[in-house]
Structure 1
Amino acid sequence: MAQQHTWLVTGTSRGLGTDIAKAALAAGHHVVATGRDASRVAAAVGEHDNLLAVALDVTDPASIDAAVESAVERFGRIDVLVNNAGNFYAGYFENTSPAQVRAQMETNFFGPLNVTRTVLPLMREQRSGQVITVTSAAGLMGQEFVAAYAASKFALEGWMESLRFDVAPFGIVTMAVEPGFFRTELLVEGSSTIWPELDVADYAERTAETITAWSAMNGQQGGDPAKLARALVTLSDSGDLPLRFLAGADVMAGVEQNLATIQGQVDAHRELSASLAFDA
């Protein structure tokens, strides 16, 4: 077995977070499983001697402080932080209210920042640690009907790519995880998905069609979250985290196509772009 580590995982009351907690426990690690309701977390993950289920709201710094304090009191350290908690404000930009956009950023972007800011001092003191953040295929490629969500995930990608330079001297490594479509509860209305608040007539038909299609997709996604969870544990235990882990054949294909498109755009305007320096 790999060295026993202490994992702190956010958003473990359902979906991928539950599977990550279970996979880490199965690999012999200590797990601090968190969510807004500790009793729901415990029920989802199940009883285990190496499990500590605690309440943590990623938008509430006081609850984060309390959860991290409980983790250290129980296990003495935190070796692996998994920023997994998030939600999905779907919709076209003009249909998504300013309040919804801000709420999306508070949970999906500022939430991971809040938790990581609390955990990093412990990892710096240890001179070791891993920060793993679940972003999305929508953090690498803009898509229709996800303007607010993609903005939050793109922001996470930039933060994670830059954070690695900050923390590398202290033995701390980072990895962003970009899942494609996995059979989690992300598309469950009222659970993780929130539909747009505003009605703009020009978008009405496409909005109705998209909501119907996405609702039908729930439970039919091709990705297995339990397999993704085990893959993350395997990568963590290897001690050699990639900067990014593209999770799923669908996201790999999409990113490869996107990279080819970007390369084509570079090539198409190479001469004009190179001409922008001051004349000698």
Structure 2
Amino acid sequence: MSRIWFITGSSRGIGYEAARAALAAGDRVAATGRDLSALQQRFAGTGTDRLLPLALDVADSAAVQAAVDATLAHFGRIDVLLNNAGYGQLGLFEEIGAEATQRQFATNVFGLFDVTRAVLPAMRRQRSGRILNITSVGGIIGVAGGGIYCAGKFAVEGFSEALAAEVEPFGIRVTIVGPGYFRTDFLDASSIRHGEHAIADYAEASRQLRNFFDGRNRQQAGDPAKLGRVLVELAHHPAAPLRFSAGSDAVEVVRGKIARLAWETDAFEALSRSTDFA
């Protein structure tokens, strides 16, 4: 059965590949992004009966509602929401200012909340829907140089788990998609942000982190086109998981986190239990 998608961050990377895969599968797509002309160029030749390109900055709540309303007016429903829009604010915590932190959360967290809030009423009326929230391995483990980015992704993970329980009675399923390193523009200068307040004590650590990320750029193992096709498969899967790890590196990170949690829980179980009333 053909499905209607609403995808944020569709002009490049994972969002673009997911839109392409959905169209190839016979679905229809509202493809949103900050630059409408870029969307139109990327999807040139796709008819308006199958694709609706929309300008959208997810940090603008009024624009979010307008884009969702336009999609419902054009296609009549939304079956799949792919929350993909976001960028990486990297750098050591003390070197990132409050304004940069707020901008990161405005897009990666509050923007995702606003899009989900705008789409859910239609899905509840339909008594059906799929929500795919793109997080990251940074939503499973916190790493040096990724504190602000990881904090946002952790927030989306917790939100998604809670939301899944709230909307399941209405036939709506939520899947958290946690990619590892994929060969997108994520680490390009056009997308990534670094801390803007240099601190002498962190100079060497900051230099090493930048070199690490620069060295990974365009060398990542993950294929975004393959992930796009997997997202379509998940959207159509009758029993899609709550959490899906994308990429071999992501699988290893999750297994490592599970092992560490199990060890710490076992090692300190008696001390944990000692806090109960007698």
- TM over 0.5, shorter chain: yes
Contact 2:61 2:111 in 1 (8 A): no
Contact 1:109 1:155 in 2 (8 A): yes
Q: Which moved more, 1:148-157 or 1:93-102?
A: 93-102
- 2:156 is aligned with what amino acid? L
Q: Which moved more, 1:25-34 or 1:205-214?
A: 205-214
SS at match of 1:8: strand
Of the three residues 40, 44, 47, the one matched with 2:45 is 47
Which residue number in structure 2 is paired with residue 267 of structure 1?
266
Structure 2 residue 148 is the aligned partner of structure 1 residue 148? yes
Which residue number in structure 2 is paired with residue 108 of structure 1?
108
Report the alpha carbon displacement of residue 73 of structure 1 after superposing the two structures with TM: 1.5
* Cα displacement string for residues 63-99 of structure 1 (whole angstroms, at most 9, x for unaligned residues): 1121112111111100000000001111000111111
Alignment of 1:1-280 (within 5 A): 3-49=1-47, 50-189=50-189, 191-279=190-278
Contact 1:13 1:34 in 2 (8 A): yes
In 1, distance between residues paired with 2:146 and 2:202?
14
Contact 2:14 2:228 in 1 (8 A): yes
Q: Under a length normalisation based on structure 2, what TM-score does the superposition of the two structures give?
A: 0.97
In 1, distance between residues paired with 2:17 and 2:88?
19
Unpaired runs of at least 5, structure 2: none
- 1:250 is aligned with what amino acid? D
Report the alpha carbon displacement of residue 122 of structure 1 after superposing the two structures with TM: 0.5
Report the alpha carbon displacement of residue 115 of structure 1 after superposing the two structures with TM: 0.4
SS at match of 1:193: coil
In 2, distance between residues paired with 1:91 and 1:64?
29
Superposition CA RMSD, Å: 0.9
Report the alpha carbon displacement of residue 146 of structure 1 after superposing the two structures with TM: 0.2
Q: Under a length normalisation based on structure 1, what TM-score does the superposition of the two structures give?
A: 0.96
Contact 1:12 1:45 in 2 (8 A): no
Contact 1:85 1:108 in 2 (8 A): yes
In 2, distance between residues paired with 1:187 and 1:35?
19
Contact 1:12 1:41 in 2 (8 A): yes
Contact 1:105 1:152 in 2 (8 A): yes
In 1, distance between residues paired with 2:68 and 2:271?
52
In 2, distance between residues paired with 1:32 and 1:47?
15
In 1, distance between residues paired with 2:5 and 2:60?
20
- 2:37 is aligned with what amino acid? S
In 1, distance between residues paired with 2:81 and 2:39?
17
In 1, distance between residues paired with 2:185 and 2:227?
15
Q: Which moved more, 1:45-54 or 1:222-231?
A: 45-54
Runs of 4+ in 1 over 3 A off after TM superposition: none
In 2, distance between residues paired with 1:69 and 1:15?
25
